[in-house]
Amino acid sequence: MSAKEIYQNNPLQGVKLETILNELVDHFGWEILHAYLQINCFKKNPSILSSLKFLRKTQWAKEKIESFYMYKLLGYPKADDEQFQLPPRDRVVPSHHKARGPANLSLDDAQKLQEKKSKVARRFNSTPDNPWGQ
């Protein structure tokens, strides 16, 4: 896959991390960002500057924000398994995929999602000797 294809078909190309964060905060707010992403810089005294400092140092968090931007704010369909393994800025969005706009997110839905993730994690971490994953 050529670099030209990546740049032409990725909505993150040319968009600064600061712009992404500002748009997410303006649309969803800090509380929703923390509830869905579980990144602590969005919880205690959140600010654009402190969050950017953390995100620039922490690749996993930066990729989480960029994915959230692509799929929750812009509303692109989720990438296929092969593309989803790549960092968000390296993914190629098929030309027939169009942005659908922001998802409707709520704190209640975020809590349900976190509970579901916890159940899956407990099941994944459990063994015959340790059925509760502790």
**Residue 111 predicted with pLDDT over 70:** yes
Kindly report the backbone phi and psi dihedral angles of residue 127, in degrees, each rounded to the nearest multiple of 5, phi listed first: -130, 170
Asked if pLDDT for residue 69 goes beyond 70, the answer is yes
Q: What pLDDT was estimated at residue 7?
A: 61
- When comparing pLDDT for 134 and 42, which is higher? 42
What was the pLDDT predicted at 74?
A: 95
The correct answer on CATH 3.40.50.1970 for the domain covering 3-103 is no
> Mean pLDDT over residues 54-64, rounded?
96
The residue-averaged pLDDT of 53-77 equals: 96
| Cα 90 from chain centre | 15
Residue 79: the pLDDT is 87
Query: Is pTM beyond 0.95 here?
Result: no
Q: What would the mean pLDDT of 88-115 be, rounded to a whole number?
A: 91
Q: Check residues 1 and 100 and name the one with the higher pLDDT.
A: 100
pLDDT higher than 80, residue 126: no
Mean pLDDT on 52-69: 96
What is the overall mean pLDDT for the chain? 88
8 has a pLDDT exceeding 90 = no
d(CA 115, CA 108): 11
**What ranges do the domains of the chain cover?**
3-103, 106-134
